[in-house]
Structure formats: structure tokens, C-alpha cells
Chain A
Amino acid sequence: MDLNYNEEELAFRKEVQDFLAEKLPKRIADKVKNLQRLTKEDMVEWHGLLNDRGWLASGWPKEHGGAAFDAVQKNIFEEEACRAGAPRVVPFGVGMLAPVLMAFGSDEQCAHYLPRILDGTDWWCQGYSEPGAGSDLASLKTSAKRDGDHYIVNGQKTWTTLGQHADWIFCLVRTSTEGKPQQGISFLLIDMATPGIEVRPIILLDGEHEVNEIFFDDVKVPIGNLVGEENQGWTYAKYLLTHERTGTAGIGFSTEGLEQLKRIAKLQKKSGKPLAQDPYFAARMAKIEIDLAALRTTNLRVLQDAMSGAASPVDASMMKVKGTVIRQAINDLARRALGPHALPFVSEALDAGYNEPPIGPDYANPVASDYFNNRKLSIFAGSNEIQKNIISKLSGL
């Protein structure tokens, strides 16, 4: 048992810090820190810089061009990247599709798609949810019917994050209606430029275009785009979700969020004194800080278990629930800390280059909007209720 970083780990942290100081464009970091909008070009640029350093795919093995970070390195990287204001790596290709391809895809698929994820040729999005299949994902209806060398895909996907930028979508589709719903699902890769695909924006409660609906009308997909075996897609999807959830704890975001909250609570006044000195507010903040300190260690323990192959899906579900609850609690307190200053909201101020003077404190504008946006955290990637179902089921209930 040793809670200290060893010299190699400290040297790695320094390496990451130096890299971020040198390569992360200030223009992009400022946007991230001020909760401003990132463009597709910003994200692609950051991916490119990371890839040049060999760090874009932090979890991939080296033979596929990954960084093969171990648990502690991953954690250090995430901490430092968040602290520096680096955009998060868009997870759909690097963190979600790639592990599935490596585990279940063919060599040809790996050789074709993985390099294109790394060099930014392909922007991927995820086609899981449907209007009638949210938490009950296995009830999905989008169909793929064999027709010679092709599947003909018909149906609708929804909540497709950043699908407006995507070149490709990985989809769960129904290839059989026999047996249990889980048994007839396949994992299909679809080129977004194929005729018959239409992307429509969904504007969320914060006014932002982040997610989309995607319609498929007789879309022809080569059978070579099937990953693994037909009707085995549910197995692959569960594998992916486990990968996805270990990343949804968002420790780095919570750490930065808490620092920002503390800054706000020092600057905001209550009865002439900093809000941070108000015993009731201070207790709310301290409770979150205690929970986050524990979760940071839980995360490291889970990552270490994952490295040694001992991680269970229960761990991933626990991290997802607690991590999102803490992140949301920080957003909630930041909003409360602002008092009436949380009310004014100028959407244009979320774009870089906005030059009007701020209304109220210069940090206030995006805070309430960010709170509303992050209500998504406990809903996506398997709602927290679904996670609790999984935890109790795997515990024997």
C-alpha cells in the first residue's frame, strides 16, 4: 500500500505538464475554462496535437498507435489536462468504438479504421438510443435486412451526441426478431455520407445544439461493415458500455469544478462576508470535497483493478453513479453561489471574441446554463437508475 507517486510517476506528471504548457493553444484553453463553445475545428486541432505526441489514444495498446497508459498515468493525464483547460477527447471513436474493434472486429477493420480515428480522418458518433429504446436499449427497432452483399437499414436513432460533425456512425441494429430482444442485435458501421441518412438537430434546454436525431431510409451498408458476428451485438454493446462508464466518473472535471466553485464562493458576498465563510454553504462545499477525495481513490483502485483484469462491471456502474452525482452537486452549488447573478444569460458571450462587458461578475454568465446542461450526466451512458439495477443484479438480487 503506497499512496505516494513514485519518481517515474512524478516525472510523467511533469512531462504532461510541459506538453500541455507548450502545445495546448491558449485560445482553446480559455474557451474551456470560461465554459465557452468549442467548434469542431477546436476539437480536431486538439486531437491532432495529442496524436502528434502519441497520447490521443491513451488507453490503446502501443501496436495500434496508443499510449498504453497505466492506471496511474491515465489519472495523472486526466488531472493535468483538466487543470490546464484541455478539451476532453471526443470519446466516440477513441474510447468507445476502438476497444470494441480491438476485441471483436476483424484485423482488416482494425487496420482500416483505427489509424483513421487517430489521424482525424473519421469523426465517429454513436447510434444506440432510439425514441422507443432508451434505458430499455434492447428493445431497439432500427432494422438491418440482408440483401445480397448489403444490409438495408431502416429506422431512427436519437440523442446522437455531436452527430452533426460525424463521418461515421456505429449502430446497434436489429437483424433478428427471434428469441429474446438481446439476441437479435448486431453492431454495424455506417458511413454518414450514404444516401438515405438524414441528421436533424435537437436543441437542448440550454439552447445548444449538442445532440441529434438520425433517420435511416433504405440505407445500403456493405456486409463487411458488420463487427463480429451477426446477432452478437448486445455482447459488444455491453463491453463498450463498461468501457464508457469507467470514463464517466469525470474526476478531473469535478476537481476543476470544485476549484472554480471555491473561487466563486470567495468572491461572492453574503452579509458582507465571503460566501465561503457562511457555515451552511461551507458545509455543503466541504461535504462534496470529502466525497470527491474518496472517489478519487475509488477511481484509482478501480483503474488498478482494471489493469490487473480484476475490474467488475459493478465498479464501472458505481463510478458512473457517484461521479455524476458529485459533478452535478458541484454545478448545483456553483449556481446557488451566484445568487441573483445566476439569472442573466447572454448566449453570444459563449462564443470566443465576444467583446461586450459582462453583466454581473465575469464568471457568472455560463454557470446556470452549464448546470442545466449537466443534468444529462445522470441520464446518459445508462441512467443512474439503470446503473443501480446493474449493481444490485450483479450483487445477486
Chain B
Amino acid sequence: MDFTHSDDRRMLADMAARFVREKYTIEKRHEFAASDEGFSREIWAEFAELGLIGAMFSEDVGGFGGSGFDLAVVFEELGKGLVVEPMLANLVAGKLIEHAGGPEQKMLLEKVIGGETLITFAHSEPDSHYDLAHVATKAEKTDKGYRLTGHKSAVLNGDSADLLIVSARISGDAGDEDGIALFLVNPRADGVSIRGCPTVDGGRVGEIALNGVEISDKVMLGDGTDCFAHIEKATAAGIVAISAEALGAMQVSTEMTLEYLKTRKQFGVIIGRFQVLQHRYAEMLIEIEQVRSSLINAAGQLDGGRELREWNVSALKNLVGRVGHLVAEECIQMHGGIGMTWEYALPHFAKRLTMIDHQFGDEDYHIERVIALSAA
């Protein structure tokens, strides 16, 4: 048992940290977020060049990492800069290809790692809430392949992707784990309409309508078997990543709050002298250490067996939900009015922390999952 990172991974983390610190000011971030695509193509190209995208994937598919801890150290640094580039979207979609794709499909990842192709997973639907098996989108068999009909909601960076991985049902009903298949779909294909939209925390999503999209057999990901298991596993990677992002955002939020408590004066003293604030600050620090530990637990199980992996991942996301909520609200409150202003960076971290609970399942969803997995 050892809790220190290898030299290689420390270098990866340092590189990501340096990039965020030196090139990713909050002003730049707002500028990227407000642009048409919601991120900077230049920054994305730099991520590719630095190998940050490659660090998400295994050597088998042209990456140089891909373990839970590689994801964790990179995303923790991205979280400190509120990075808006589509790393999460490409990670989750890329993991589907890495795990489920056939040999030719896996070749696609070279271009993803090189930053030339953007991909995303079009999975959640208007009525799915966070249920991964709730796929109502239909894939009907045709002579040439399949016809896709359905709706996909809040698809991460769905308006800028070059390729969509669409989940659709070839048999059974919404909620069944069996009968789901995954398809590689060109977003410009006939019958696909995408409405892009900014998110409340600075990202971009697409609402995607699939109106009888004709696709060939060849675009089915892999052989179409075990798709639910692949979805679950790719989502687990997404949860480790987004939780690490949350951990980074929590650290910056509490550092800013500490600085404020040490400088803001009222009643003739710095407000950090007040015990009521000291204790609330200390409680956040304790909980953030818990998140770090939970992240270690989940990252370490990401490539392990399903039961341990899913228990630890859901435990992590539940804890991140609880602590993210605590840190977001407490940091704003301790700042008072200044914590409410757009001009100041803190509230943007708080917004991101809050909205992270709306991705890949919130604390309630994951506590139910922990209960179910514990009983199994």
C-alpha cells in the first residue's frame, strides 16, 4: 500500500498545473466560455500537444496512461482553473470506444488524442434523470442498417462534436439494461438536429433530436454486446474525473475564502478572528480531505471488478455532491456580498461545484446506488 504518485504521474500533474496557472486566467476562461463553441480551439490544440488528452487513454489505443489516477491528477488541476475545454466529453466518449470499439473504431482515438476530432456521448434523455438504463431512443433495423429516432438531452459539448456516440434501443423498454446499442453518428447526417446552448456554470451542451436518422451497420460500436456494462464503466471514469475536478475547485474556493477571512475587517478586526467562521472553515477542510480519500479509493478501483468499482465510484459521487454543496454555499456566505458578484472568481467556482452534482448522478441517486450495491 502506497499513497505516493509515481514520478511520471507527478510530472503530468505538474505540467497540467503549470498550464492552468500560467495560461488560464479567469478572464480568459470567461472569454472562452462566452465564445460560440464555449471553449478555445487553441487551448484544445495545446492540450493535445502537451499530451493531456493522451493521458486519458491507454497505450493500446495510442494514449499514455488512462488509469484512474491519471484522470484524477489532470482533472484536479483543470478544476482549479475552471477549464471549459471539452475534456470530460471526450474522455467519456473516448472510454466507450476504448472499451467497446472494434479495431478500426479504436483508430479514431488517435485523432481524438491529437485534438483533431471532438467526440461526445449522447446518452441522457428528457425522462432519464440519471438512470443509465433509461434509453427510449429507438434503433429500428432496416435493410442497410438502423434508423434512429429519439431525443438526447444536455449532451456535453454536443454542439461542437465531430462525432456523436448515440445510445439507442434495439430491443426491450426504457429502463432495461439489455437491448441498448451504441452507434457512431455524424452530427451533420440527415435527420440529426442539434440545438446548442450555454450552461449556467460556463459550459456548453446540445439538445439533440434524432428524426429517423439512417445509419449503416458499420457504425455500431463494437459488436453491440454488453453495451450497458460499457456505459457504466465509461461513466465511472467520468465520475472519477469530474470528482477530481470538484476537488480542485474546492481547494481554490477554500483558499480564496481563507484569504478573504484574513483580510476583510469588520468591527475593527479581521473576520477570521470570529470563531463561528473559523469552525465552518475547519469543517470544509475536513470534508475536502474526505473527498480526496474517496477519490483515491474510486480511482484505485476504476480498472478493477465491477462491484468494487461501482461501490467506490458511487460513494465518491455522493460525497462530492454533499461536500461540493457545502463548500459552494459556505464560501459564498463567508464572503458576503462580494461572493455574489460576477466580477469575482469565487462564485464561478461555487456554480461549477453545484452543477457537478447535476452530472452523472447527484448525491441522492448515488446513495441509492450505494445501498443497492451494498445489498447485492
One of B6, B281, B299, B367 near A392 (C-beta < 8 A):
B281
CA distance A216 to B275 in the complex (A): 36
Task: Tell me the interface secondary structure of chain A in the complex.
Answer: helix
Q: Is B354 an interface residue (CB 8 A)?
A: no
**B1 in contact with A5 (CB, 8 Å):** yes
How many whole Å from B371's CB to the nearest CB in chain A? 5
Give chain A residues whose Cβ lies under 8 Å from the Cβ of B258. 395-397
Partner of B286, one of A2, A301, A304, A391: A391
- Of A35-43, A120-128, A280-288, which binds chain B? A280-288
In the assembled complex, the Cα of A223 lies from the Cα of B271 at a distance in Å of 46
| Chain B: interface size category | 35 or more
Contact A391 B285 (CB under 8 A): yes
Asked if A205 is at the interface of the complex by the 8 Å CB criterion, the answer is no
- State whether A318 touches B285 (Cβ < 8 A): yes
- Are A72 and B1 closer than 8 Å at their CB atoms? yes
Beta-carbon contact of B367 and A396 below 8 Å: no
- Is A291's CB within 8 Å of the partner chain B? yes
The stretch among B119-127, B163-171, B288-296 that forms the contact with chain A is: B288-296
Given contacts A293-B312, A297-B294, A397-B262, contact A318 B289 (CB under 8 A): yes
Judge if A346 is at the interface, Cβ distance under 8 Å: no
Check if A322 sits within 8 Å of B286, measured CB to CB: yes
Q: Which residues of B contact A387 (CB under 8 A)?
A: 282
Interface size, chain A (Cβ < 8 Å): 41
Interface residue B27 (Cβ < 8 Å from any Cβ of A):
no
A295 interface contact, C-beta 8 A: yes
B1 touches A2 (CB 8 A): yes
Q: How far is the CA of A2 from the CA of B6 in the complex (A)?
A: 10
Asked whether any CB of chain B lies closer than 8 Å to the CB of A193, the reply is: no
List the A side residues contacting B266 at CB < 8 Å.
none
Would you call B278 an interface residue if the criterion is a C-beta within 8 Å of the partner chain's C-beta atoms?
yes
Instruction: Encode contact with A along B1-13: 1 for CB under 8 Å, 0 otherwise.
Output: 1111110010000
Q: Which residues of A contact B281 (CB under 8 A)?
A: 392, 395, 397
In the complex, are the beta carbons of B367 and A286 less than 8 A apart? yes
B375 CB → nearest A CB, Å: 8
Residue in B2, B262, B275, B312 whose beta carbon sits within 8 Å of that of A2 in the complex: B2
Bound: A314/B290 CA distance, A: 14
A397 close to B296 (CB less than 8 A):
no
B300 at the interface (CB under 8 A from A): yes
Asked if B297 CB lies within 8 Å of chain A CBs, one says yes
Q: Are A322 and B1 in contact (CB under 8 A)?
A: no
Say yes or no: B286 contacts A321, CB within 8 Å.
Answer: yes
On chain B, the residues within 8 Å of A314 by CB distance are 285
Asked if B261 contacts A397 (CB within 8 A), the reply is yes
Q: Which residues of the partner chain A approach B289 to less than 8 Å between Cβ atoms?
A: 298, 318
B279, B297, B301, B368: the one contacting A294 at CB < 8 Å is: B297
Give the residues from 258 to 309 in chain B that come closer than 8 angstroms, CB to CB, to chain A: 258, 261-262, 272-273, 275, 277-279, 281-283, 285-286, 289-294, 296-297, 299-301
Residues of chain B whose beta carbon lies under 8 Å from any beta carbon of chain A: 1-6, 9, 69, 258, 261-262, 272-273, 275, 277-279, 281-283, 285-286, 289-294, 296-297, 299-301, 312, 315, 318-319, 367-368, 370-371, 374-375
